[in-house]
Structure 1
Amino acid sequence: MPYAGGAGLPPFPGPPGGPVEPRRRLHPLSPVLHGAKSLVVVIAGLSWSTLSRVGFGWFAALVVIFVLGATVLSIVSWWNTGYHVVGRELRVHEGLLWRRTRAIPLERLQAVEVVRPLLAQLTGLAELRLEVVGGGKTEAPLAYLSVAEATALRQRLLAVAGRPPQPVPADTPPALVPAGAAPVPPPAPAGRRLHTVRNADLLVSQLLTPQAFLLPFGVAFVVAQFLSEGSWSFIAVASTLTAMAGVLLQPVRRVLDDWGFRLDREDGTLRVRNGLLETRVQTVPLHRVQTVGVTWPLLWRMKGWLRLRLEVAGYSAAEPDDRNRPDRLLPVGDAGTAALVVAEVLPGVRLDALPSTPPPRRARWLRPLSRRAVGAGLDEQVFVARAGLLTRRLTLVPYARIQSVRVTQGPAQRRLRLATVHADTAGGSGAAAPDRDLGEAWELAAELTARAHAARHDGRGRRR
């Protein structure tokens, strides 16, 4: 390929005595795609007020100048960016004035995902994203590569990390199958389908959110103001429409992200497929699941719907884009579907038979409205914690995943002889039993510690 070989990029010293692999550049269309993304950001940043002050001609000129500047910077960045595999590391080099080299140890690699945003789909490109144990965020996405190169590099990184190459999906065109990839598997052993979310249910669920539910009232209020003041200027209408779009951004984003959601079970993993404008295929090893969260939004309860989320070890909770974390288990579904899915992730756990007791009566001084809504309990397999008054939440923590147990007290809790028990996991959040009686809290902490120790040392809790 003309952009391979690292022209203009000096080789980086590899292992002593070993061959030096030339650096490779990203696809030549990468600066164009980054410039197109900058166009949307620039227009949004200038806002309608700038258009009203400078006029359409100067507004268009500002947009062109900013986009050209962003494109030039993208080209310079592309020219000075390269990657290659050195030993058991993926090294990414970038920067013109301040050179930076990131060495990603492949033995700490958890997953390599090939993601195709809308612009990448239109141009036949893909983005490679790496998840590393202990990383602060998704490591250096290589954006963008050709689909064939991204697939081949993904197979190679997994092989170097000590994992067998994963089979190429059956719908991959023959021309895009990389050399040395595993043969296309027959359709029969493709995995067991657990659930497919109906897109109609997904749309209705997002209409039953506070943003969408209250939007008509906001529109009526704005229209009433316009009628009373007699002001229908273009800037006022455009600003109002922009504000409404911002309110609806989260529900629309959820619909686009979870469109066509499918959940499959393949041996010891869950495979999640979702996305409309940006397609994703994420694999979640079951032995890395730290917690399962169940949420009942207020407006969903009239239809008996709920949402399931996962907390997975190896994926950073500090990742700024939550779409990079494989935390989706069921975007929307009824109690029966949720029970079947939870039974796959946590065998032996029944959602309709989980123990939970509320805090003592004196906790009402701290929780006058929500005392009956919070609670905690010990199931045979998991620690159960529930919370939430309007939006109900339930957190399930397998005993084998508990890393530490803490008992904390605030000033008001000390006066009321109450305490909060925390069960921490490797994923970061865990679960908490708030405002328990002080003696009960210490007993609960001791029991959690004993059960966690026993679960990690028997055959059921040992990670494979």
Structure 2
Amino acid sequence: MTNGQPWPPPGYAPPTPGDVSPDHAAPPGYGPPPDQTPPPGYGTPAGPQAQPWPGPVPPGPVPPGAWNPAPWGPPGGEEPRQRLHPLSPALHGAKSLVVVIAGLSWSTLSRVGFGWFAVLVAVFVLGATVLSVISWWNTGYHVVGRELRVHEGLLWRRTRAIPLERLQAVEVVRPLLAQLTGLAELRLEVVGGGKTEAPLAYLGVAEASALRQRLLAVAGRAPAPAPTAAPGVPAPPAAAGRRLHAVRNQDLLVSQLLTPQAFLLPLGLAFVVAQFLSEGSWSFIAVASTLTAMAGVLLQPIRRVLDDWSFRLDAEGDTLRVHNGLLETRVQTVPLHRVQTVGVTWPLLWRMKGWLRLRLEVAGYSAGEPDDRNRPDRLLPVGDAGTGELVVAEVLPGVRLDALPGTPPPARARWLRPLSRAAVGAGLDERVFVARSGLLTRRLTLVPYARIQSVRVTQGPAQRRLRLATVHADTAGGAGAAAVDRDLGDAWALAAELTARARAARRADRPA
């Protein structure tokens, strides 16, 4: 039983001395919890001097061994709704300012002039701030039983109830403005969610951390409590996560310089300068528009550097903890038992330094999230072969990158893949299904057999003429892996073997 209803319930009157009427019995749902016995005199009226039911719980902790009447009450008790931090509207308004300026563009400035441009920006930002204040006033959250309920909306009221049993992780995210104001954003990842659920933006850092621990505890994923020490003896330090790897920021910068965008940028700048010199067009709008376009070219590598800055990977029991970010810091949880695939990538320009990149596909996370920063798919943004072996062995014990099997498609597949036939292949390891692809950028996908949800064999028109087929191993995350352009007979044999191994692996994973 849980306690959340005030005592006495509506319509209840305490018994008078000598009253043994059943009308004064406890209403349905009230009663002591199974592991507690109320003190004498409490309960349904009995005897000539029946005692009333216990009232509200007195403040303060209950001494060990004392009877705690808090659990007495109907299930589904509620707590008062909590509001977000009062600075939340200001942060949302500042974000709106950036969006408004970007949306108006340089062409609007040239048409209306600086004065009217400033007026437009002020009007839009004022309106966005007013809406943010109204939204903040009508937004609240509280925990009800085993649900987190988020209430929002003014004209259209909406209540989202998130079952905490389906909770996979609660992430504490701190964008730049939140770091400057001492706030944080809480984001929830739920099994089967189409996107990150119910982001609470913003809370105080201490409040966000406490709420995260509480939600994980209710969901049954809280870490084990630290051992207690004897009186007068200092408590032992809490066990910290085991550090697997920390990426050097210097390697991160160099890796993004070894990208096509970085190599093509000087050519683009030279073309723009030559165009200006030939046409004599040096207006402010032309220069600003060109610089904006060039910034768009560099946006992806710059964002990767900012997102993966100070990247650290820790192992904590059966989870991985990923710490990363410069302007927006993130602490993400990757439950190892929900890892569906591990992807290894060797970009063309990275191969001269022996570098690779590792990615994850995790069930229960938002594969369709428009912002890939919300997906916990980073396992290693850049690292050498030895580091890759170490991290892969942590996620997939017993798997070695340098000893994976793989056979290429038959020779007749060169009609479909004249250049990349030798670069693709597939094989069956003892623990994982292996699929290779890519010519300039080489890719390797590893799928544990226990994570395979279905196996498909597909044929296109050209494949049918060449008696070829592709075998797909689908996972709960959606991507999976594929053995492309296999011989038709080998494809059906591979599909049957994958099905048998997947069934055996799932059977072995089931608890006895």
| TM-score, scaled relative to structure 2 | 0.82
C-alpha separation in 2, matches of 1:28 and 1:281: 24
C-alpha separation in 2, matches of 1:51 and 1:463: 66
Shift of 1:64: 0.6
Q: Report if aligned partners of 1:156, 1:165 keep a CA contact under 8 Å in 2.
A: no
Residue number among 377, 381, 391 corresponding to 1:341 in the alignment:
391
| Alignment partner, residue 12 of structure 1 | none
Shift of 1:167: 7.3
- Out of 265-274 and 86-95, give the one that drifted further: 265-274
| Alignment partner, residue 161 of structure 2 | 103
Greater Rg over alpha carbons, structure: 2
Pick closer, same or farther for the CA change 1:185–1:109 going to 2, 3 Å: farther
C-alpha separation in 1, matches of 2:314 and 2:170: 18
Question: What are the superposed Cα offsets for residues 323-357 of structure 1, whole Å, 9 maximum, x if unpaired?
Answer: 11211111001111111111111111111111111
C-alpha separation in 2, matches of 1:274 and 1:258: 5
Question: What are the superposed Cα offsets for residues 380-409 of structure 1, whole Å, 9 maximum, x if unpaired?
Answer: 111100111111110011111111111111
C-alpha separation in 2, matches of 1:444 and 1:204: 41
- Give the number of equivalent residue pairs: 433
| Alignment partner, residue 460 of structure 2 | 410
Pick closer, same or farther for the CA change 1:201–1:154 going to 2, 3 Å: same
C-alpha separation in 2, matches of 1:165 and 1:60: 52
Question: What are the superposed Cα offsets for residues 302-340 of structure 1, whole Å, 9 maximum, x if unpaired?
Answer: 211110011111112111111112111110011111111
1:242 partner letter: T
Residue number among 424, 429, 441 corresponding to 2:491 in the alignment:
441
Aligned residue for 1:407, secondary structure, equals strand
| Alignment partner, residue 40 of structure 1 | 98
C-alpha separation in 2, matches of 1:357 and 1:456: 26
Structure 1: tracts of 5 or more residues without a match: 1-14, 169-182
Question: What are the superposed Cα offsets for residues 26-80 of structure 1, whole Å, 9 maximum, x if unpaired?
Answer: 1111110000001111111111111111111111111111111111111111111
Residue number among 196, 202, 214 corresponding to 2:252 in the alignment:
202
1:321 partner letter: D
Pick closer, same or farther for the CA change 1:32–1:358 going to 2, 3 Å: same
Question: What are the superposed Cα offsets for residues 240-275 of structure 1, whole Å, 9 maximum, x if unpaired?
Answer: 110111111111110011000111222222111111
Aligned residue for 1:25, secondary structure, equals coil
Please give the residue correspondences for 1:11-410 in structure 2 after superposition, counting only pairs within 5 Å: 18-164=76-222, 186=237, 189-410=239-460
1:131 partner letter: E
2:389 partner letter: A
| Alignment partner, residue 420 of structure 1 | 470
Pick closer, same or farther for the CA change 1:53–1:185 going to 2, 3 Å: farther
| TM-score, scaled relative to structure 1 | 0.90
2:105 partner letter: S
1:56 partner letter: F
Structure 2: tracts of 5 or more residues without a match: 1-72, 227-233
| Alignment partner, residue 171 of structure 1 | none
Aligned residue for 2:83, secondary structure, equals coil
Q: Percent identity over the alignment?
A: 89
CA RMSD, Structure 1 to Structure 2 (Å): 1.8
Q: Report if aligned partners of 1:81, 1:93 keep a CA contact under 8 Å in 2.
A: yes
Pick closer, same or farther for the CA change 1:342–1:18 going to 2, 3 Å: closer
1:457 lines up with 2:499 in the alignment: no
Q: Report if aligned partners of 2:78, 2:143 keep a CA contact under 8 Å in 1.
A: no
C-alpha separation in 1, matches of 2:424 and 2:236: 48
C-alpha separation in 1, matches of 2:236 and 2:283: 61
